Amino acid sequence: MRLSRQTKVDLLKRIPLFAGCSRAELEAVSRVADELRVPAGRVLMRQGMPGRELVVVVEGEVTVERDGATIAVRQAGDFLGELALVTGRPRTATVTAATDLRTLVLDRISFDRLLRDVPTIAVKVMKAVAERLPHEDA
């Protein structure tokens, strides 16, 4: 069963990356977010590779590894890949489906188009990304 637009909006508003967005902005995001099912064992992102998408876990669980060591487990409602997508930096970790997954995916082209077509989202997203970057003392 496909997710309804309302369900997509509800999922997206819980994500810190889109937390400051209005209802209309969230609906714009939901229109470009693709639903994707992923089988257990599939690698979604590989450390050191370019980031081409943002993934929201709708159902299931993923493991996050850095340099071969598991550093986190993410579940429904969690999101991955936003830093590499927005900053253009390589992926900082490898993410593998620990179970069968149901996800929402925003690819780079859709994400860039969204930021261009709904510019009010751009500032909110950039602020959220900046808050997730490692802080350095000046």
* pLDDT at residue 135, rounded to an integer: 53
What b/e string do you get for 4-21 counting C-beta neighbours within 10 Å, with b at 16 or more? eeeebbebbbebebbeeb
pLDDT of 132 above 70: no
pLDDT tens-place string over residues 99-127: 999 998 999 999 888 888 888 888 887 77
pLDDT range class, residue 85, cuts 50, 70, 90: confident
Asked if 121 contacts 72 with a C-beta cutoff of 8 angstroms, the reply is: no
Nearest to 127 by CA among 109, 138, 115, 117: 115
> For the chain, what is the total number of helices (H) and then of strands (E)?
5, 8
* Domain range list for the chain: 5-132
Q: Which CATH class is domain 5-132?
A: mainly beta
